[in-house]
Structure 1
Amino acid sequence: MKSKIIILIICALLGTVKAFAQNRTVQGVVLDSNNEPMIGATVAEVGNNKNGTIVDINGHFRLNVSPEAKYLEVSFVGYISSKVDITKQSNIKIVLQEDVKGIDEVVVVGYATQKKITATGATSAISAKDIRQIPTSSIQNALVGRLPGFFSQQRSGQPGGGGEWDQNDFYIRGVNSLNGDSQPLIIVDDIEYTYDQVQQLDVNEIETVTILKDASTTAIYGIRGANGVLVITTRRGKLGKPSINVSGDFGVQSIIRMPHYYDSYTSALLRNEALVNDAHGTSTPPEIQFDENDLFLFRNGNDPYGHANTNWTKELLNRTTTAQRANIDVSGGTNVVKYFVSFGVYNQSGMIKDQKPTDGYDDVNTNYKYNRTNFRTNLDIMPTKTTKIRFDMNGRFEMRNQPNKTNITDELDSYERLAPFMPLRNPDGSYSYASYKGGKNTVALNSILANTGYTRKNKNDFNIVIDVNQDLSAITQGLSVKALYSYAGTWEESRGLVVTLINSFLHFIMIRKLVLTHHVTDNMHNMELTVSVQG
């Protein structure tokens, strides 16, 4: 018995020795680029994040790692993480490099730019490359969830998702007024834009998006900036050989939940029940709309015209539709001229099935659809070492189409227009109406879509910006003056068929701006004074 106990104790001791032999110790020191200890840096075994330690006050660490461990990862806030090979060394020295990417990030603040670390106002910024692949016609939708404090509301899924009929609202830090204007100010390349104009922008043209969120914006933009400011800069040419980029995407959109309606038999039962309930407690006996014979015919389907059972959502709507986008841009430049040129198209279709008109010659497309073409040319010219000239020219050609005299979203909830008792067409091929018992001769929605034509809106925007920036450091260091001229013209046309109605108008805005800037910096201070006059 004693011998067995002795053997067990020896086995346990051997197992303990083996367990200790499986681990090994790695030690070292963690410093920054100035050879200062990185107190509090984290050292962890790669592949086993639970095994880690913290660097002490002298920059040293000591960590037991598993025999299969090959790397250690050393990290510290504001520094680039380092991955170190420990297969051939157990005493290591690690130097962490400062991560200047976030510190040197430039944000647009008013009429100038600042490094993020020196910006005193509340700002959020995003590079357009992070949203360029999102297949949406509206930049507002692409920004949702990517900029803190930015809230966007899309009121429907109409193709184009905006404009006069279906404008996408967006706010910065929520709605600031119950009965006033809560829309933020929108600035694109120093020019003020409207909701509708910014929605027409092609995401491929955008370089950065910044939102200014606090009261400091009123110091730059006055009371117009009280609801926040959305600042967008577009892409510009860079020094180097011409670079050509071509991109395209194709998307399929589908209805998440198709509206479901009762069949004719169930609807007739419920209609009769509703009439009985309405007459309850009155001296007038209820008038039953559908008798037993009607219910029998609705149920067996032997009278498809007199007692129809029409599934209107199936007859009127497709379950899917498509959206396509294509872009091409060219950029490059020399020390004298830098350029960025882009061209893009976007098309989106609706979900309404084609309904042929009674008269074939009236056949037109009454479906919802949206087409847009964008072009942009941004030039940066530097004729002298102290003179910079910016010349921007861009335009957008937009077309929105929708059924005339109807909003199908509202009509889908109309019992009178979409009662299942109405057949899709009459026996002679003509469109039906509410001729069933108790009907009010209401025209069916498919007849409205087929015979009342469309409403189409064309909108063309054309913008020119000329900006001359002159460095006046010869007078005093850091002094510069900028003169800006902007022209924005918009032509709109509304057309309706079958009843032809054409409305068109042209309006334009000219902006002249003069900005004087004095920038002073030394080892301890960074100060900029800006005076702006606009007319």
Structure 2
Amino acid sequence: MKTQTAQQRNNQQNIKGLVLDDFGEPIIGASVTIKGNKNHGTITDAEGRFSLNVPKGTTYLEISYIGMTTYELSLKTPKDLYKIRMKASDTELEEVVVTGVVNKMKESFTGSASTFTAEELKAVGTQNAIASLKTLDPSFNVLDSEFGSDPNRMPDIEIRGKSSLISTRDELAQDPNQPLFILDGFESSLEAIYNLDMNRISSITILKDAASTAIYGSKASNGVVVVETIKPKSGKLNLSYHGNANIQWADLTSYNLMNASEKLEFERRVGRYNNFNTTDQEIQLQQSYYDKVADIARGVDSYWLSEPLRTGINHRHSLYANGGEGAFMFGLGLSYNGITGIMKNSDRSNISGNIDLIYRVNKLQFSNKFYIDNTDAENPLVTFSKYAE
């Protein structure tokens, strides 16, 4: 037996390593196993260190930890101490429910919720997060209103039909029947989410039932929309730019109005120019009729419904820089959203900026987020529905 034990030791090699996180802090309890053999392994100690005997010829170890991307350690180059720096993983969001207070595994969350990633939101549209949610989730209902494409009018929203008193919006500063909006763990507003740059969003979770009330109280009786923004990543300075634009125009075909020639013929047939009592009135009416005939002959054909309208243009630009290493990471963002409404004199211009700081002091991690937002809006004198009357 002693000879066999000695032989086994001769066929093994001892691997020592130190496992750290993005901030350079030790990871306690990380799993270290031989790749392909989960039964042969160990865990890191209170200092993030491990020591593991493996058969000679072993080429790879796997280091894993909850919330971190699994790391494959190559043993092809022998070292006295392997230093491993693990990076935070983008956990599959369909398996996690973000409540704004705590993240829970989907199978352990008893409420009704839907979670959408940034890729899913941008795949169906880049206008704003509200429009994308309307397309992705049937229970997230953005109500049609008489204000049409007015860029300065915030939409009315129902989650599973819970909102009903829409008329109260005119009497109160904010519709009391809107869902509750949470941005990075703090209560926010519909306008803030509406203005939020799509490229800053990491995920959006919609909480739809009594589970949201248990977390946020009666304010969440109409549902909760939880928005998580992208966190800074460690490494070299990374600078990214995103820009897009779209065009809108009014479709007036459903109105089917008469053109100038048809309208004049209609007036003639209903006796508009035969309604006179004196010769002077007859002369005036006939003169008016033939003047209009002459105008039509030279191309006068004003379509008055289109007079207050134009082609609407929406262009968005965003710039984001992030970086840092060890105990400090940062993110700086600047975005612009310019909307030229279809109705003349309906314009909206939004400039926003954000600063994200993540830093660690000993065992404590701090996260600071600063937002600044400025919106300039211009509205027409009357709505199109009022003008069309």
After superposition, where does 1:337-376 map in structure 2 within 5 Å?
337-351=328-342, 367-376=345-354
Q: 1:177 to 1:275 in 2, by over 3 A?
A: farther
CA distance change for structure 1 residues 374 and 157 in 2, over 3 Å: closer, same or farther?
A: farther
- Report the Cα distance in structure 2 between the residues aligned to 1:273 and 1:246, rounded to whole angstroms: 63
Task: Indicate which of 242, 249, 256 corresponds to 1:247.
Answer: 242
Residues 236 and 338, structure 1, Cα contact 8 Å, conserved in 2: no
Corresponding residue for 2:303? 311
Task: Report the CA distance between 1:250 and its aligned residue.
Answer: 2.4
> Quick one: which amino acid aligns to residue 331 of structure 1?
N
5 Å-filtered alignment, 1:164-203, equals 166-177=153-164, 181-203=176-198
Contact map agreement 1:328 1:344 (CA 8 A) in 2: yes
Instruction: Give the Cα separation in 2 of the matches to 1:275 and 1:135.
Output: 53
Shift of 1:315: 4.7
CA distance change for structure 1 residues 104 and 227 in 2, over 3 Å: closer, same or farther?
Answer: closer
Q: CA deviation at 1:301?
A: 2.5
What is the 5 A alignment of 1:133-282?
A: 136-155=126-145, 156-158=147-149, 161-162=151-152, 166-177=153-164, 181-257=176-252, 260-270=256-266
Shift of 1:212: 0.5
* Alpha-carbon displacement from aligned partner over 1:238-275 (angstroms, at most 9, x marks no partner): 23332221111122222233555323443345457778
For 2:93 and 2:108, locate their aligned partners in 1 and report how far apart those are by CA, in whole Å: 9
Instruction: Check the 8 A contact 2:346/2:379 in 1, yes or no.
Output: yes
2:313 & 2:124 partners in 1: Cα distance? 14
Q: Deviations over 1:183-227 (max 9, x none)?
A: 111111122122222212111221110011111211111111111
Q: Distance in 1 between matches of 2:271 and 2:213?
A: 61
Distance in 2, Cα, partners of 1:322 & 1:103: 34
1:129 maps to which of 119, 125, 130 = 119
Q: Which amino acid aligns with 1:310?
A: S
Q: Secondary structure at the match of 2:177?
A: coil
The CA deviation at 1:344 is 0.9
Does the CA contact (< 8 Å) of 2:93 and 2:115 recur in 1?
no
Decide whether the 8 Å contact of 1:369 with 1:401 is kept in 2. yes
1: CA distance, partners of 2:116 / 2:296: 63
SS in 2 for 1:301: helix
Cα distance, 1:107–1:349 mapped onto 2, change above 3 Å:
same
In structure 2, the residue corresponding to 1:131 is in which secondary structure?
helix
Equivalent residue number for residue 392 of structure 1: 369
Query: In percent, how many aligned pairs have the same letter?
Result: 23
Conserved 8 A contact 2:248-2:342: no
Contact 2:100 2:184 in 1 (8 A): no
- Three-state SS of the structure 2 residue aligned to 1:241 is strand
What SS class does the counterpart of residue 379 from structure 2 fall into? strand
Query: How many angstroms apart in 1 are the aligned matches of 2:231 and 2:131?
Result: 24
Question: Distance between the aligned counterparts of 2:197 and 2:356, measured in 1?
Answer: 14
- Partners of 1:380 and 1:314 lie apart in 2 by 52
Q: Does 1:381 align with 2:359?
A: yes
Partner residue in 2 for 1:425: none
Cα distance change, pair 169–316 in 1 and its aligned pair in 2 (3 A): closer
Q: How does 1:73-92 map to 2 (within 5 A)?
A: none
1:109, CA displacement in angstroms? 1.8
Aligned pairs for 1:400-419 (under 5 A) are 400-403=377-380, 405-411=381-387, 413-414=388-389
Query: How many pairs does the alignment contain?
Result: 284
* Cα distance in structure 1, aligned partners of 2:356 and 2:232: 7
Q: What SS does structure 2 have at the residue aligned with 1:144?
A: helix
Q: CA deviation at 1:398?
A: 1.0
Distance 1:300 1:176, change over 3 A: same
* Counterpart Cα distance in 2 of 1:134 and 1:144: 10
Q: Does 1:324 align with 2:315?
A: yes
Q: How does 1:478-489 map to 2 (within 5 A)?
A: none
Per-residue Cα deviation, 1:308-342 (whole angstroms, up to 9, x for no partner): 64332455433x33221111111233231122221
TM-score for both structures, normalised by structure 2: 0.63
> Does 2:108 correspond to 1:108?
no
Alpha-carbon distance change, 235 to 302 in structure 1, aligned in 2, over 3 angstroms: closer
Q: Which amino acid in structure 1 is aligned with residue 332 of structure 2?
A: V
- Alpha-carbon displacement from aligned partner over 1:26-59 (angstroms, at most 9, x marks no partner): xxxxxxx99xxxxxxxxxxxxxxxxxxxxxxxxx
Structure 1 residue ranges (4+ consecutive) displaced by more than 6 angstroms after TM superposition: 272-276
Q: Residues 135 and 325 of structure 1 are in contact (CA less than 8 Å); yes or no, is this contact kept in structure 2?
A: no
**Cα-to-partner distance string for 1:455-484 (whole Å, 9 max, x where unaligned):** xxxxxxxxxxxxxxxxxxxxxxxxxxxxxx
Aligned equivalents of 1:195, 1:297: Cα separation in 2: 55
- What is the Cα deviation at residue 127 of structure 1? 0.9
**Cα separation, 2, equivalents of 1:234 and 1:117:** 24
Task: Tell me which moved more, 191-200 or 218-227.
Answer: 191-200
With over 3 angstroms needed to count, the CA separation of the structure-2 counterparts of 1:321 and 1:182, relative to structure 1, is closer
Deviations 1:334-381 (A, max 9, x none): 2311222211111121346xxxxxxxxxxxxx6222211111111111
2:382 alignment partner, SS class: coil
**Against the structure 1 CA distance between its residues 119 and 273, is the aligned structure 2 distance closer, same or farther, given a 3 Å change threshold?**
farther
**Matched AA of 2:292:** F
| 1:118 alignment partner in structure 2 | 108
- 1:205–1:376 Cα contact (<8 Å) kept: no
Aligned-residue CA RMSD (Å): 3.5
Contact 1:243 1:332 (8 Å CA) reproduced: yes
Is the Cα–Cα contact under 8 Å of residues 104 and 117 in structure 1 kept in the other structure?
no
**Within 2, Cα distance between the matches of 1:208 and 1:377?**
19
* Structure index of larger Rg: 1
> Compared with structure 1, are the counterparts of its residues 300 and 103 closer, same or farther at alpha carbon in structure 2 (3 Å cutoff)?
closer
